[in-house]
Amino acid sequence: MTGRLAILGLGPGSPDLQTPQVSRALEEATDLVGYETYLARIAERPGQRRHTSDNRAEFFRATYALELAAEGCRVAVVSSGDPGVFAMASAVFEALEAGPPAWRSLAIEVMPGVSAMFAAAAHAGAPLGHDFCAINLSDNLKPQAVIERRIRLAAEADFAIACYNPRSKARPDGLTAAFAIVREVCADDRPVLFARAVSTPEEHLRIVPLPEARAEMADMRTVVIIGSSQTRVIAGTRFLYTPRSAA
């Protein structure tokens, strides 16, 4: 098969945070496949086709991208941030596994991007400097009980926790439940970073102590980093960090 499939991450927003490898793959692609909000970030090129879809139609989008590559197209499947972090890379591999054996000989490459948690952490200092985990708070693809168990165990293990998809109109209460669990497990005032629209002109960073953290401080363009017991703000600066040694 002559088709190619690049599964790539655009980074969190700024073109400066998009890798040269990703820029090249976007230039070379005959077909772009992705959620329309992400495709809107890419400059139009004559002759390049765009296949947009709803953000929930991941498996459909992944299958379609593989079909196009099997027909000989050079396809780029686009995610924000990193394609392997709560994004399209897994969906493509699920579709590959379920699809015709011939798809397995396609040239497929995953191209990393700067994930929202890394851009947010960098702009605030270094809150992910020691052990941390990332949890997707959306209950679209897993039950709420699993999310809550993972939050509890992560807090008990004293990880810094990066929360993706923290809050939506359909799901206004998940983050409130997450904060309640962390407060129950850790009765201290560890800092919480709300990082909205990182690396875009609308970027807004806010750090509050855990007892003051409220779900209303986040939306779907926010990544929330709940510090570990060691995470702290350096007085007189805007910086938040977690030291590299454990307590």
> Using CB under 6 A as the criterion, which residues of the chain lie in contact with ligand SAM when the complex forms?
12-13, 79-82, 85-87, 115-116, 120, 164-166, 195-200, 220-223
Q: Minimal distance in Å, beta carbon 9 to ligand SAM?
A: 6
Q: Which is nearer to ligand SAM, 69 or 87 (CB)?
A: 87
Within 8 A by CB and 6+ apart from 20, the residues are none
Q: Which is nearer to ligand SAM, 3 or 227 (CB)?
A: 227
Q: Minimal distance in Å, beta carbon 71 to ligand SAM?
A: 27
Position of minimal CB gap to ligand SAM: 81
Q: Which is nearer to ligand SAM, 11 or 129 (CB)?
A: 11
Within 8 A by CB and 6+ apart from 2, the residues are 72
d(Cα 85, Cα 81) in Å, to the nearest integer?
Answer: 8
Q: Minimal distance in Å, beta carbon 88 to ligand SAM?
A: 8
Q: Which is nearer to ligand SAM, 186 or 220 (CB)?
A: 220
Q: Which is nearer to ligand SAM, 30 or 136 (CB)?
A: 136
Q: Minimal distance in Å, beta carbon 84 to ligand SAM?
A: 8
| Nearest alpha-carbon partner for 127 in 156, 163, 151 | 163
Q: Minimal distance in Å, beta carbon 32 to ligand SAM?
A: 16
Q: Are 88 and 77 in contact (CB under 8 A)?
A: yes
Q: How far is CA 37 from CA 110, 120, 147, in A?
A: 20, 20, 26
Partners of residue 77 on adjacent β-strands: 7, 33
Give the CA count within 13 Å in the CB-facing half-sphere of 144. Answer: 10
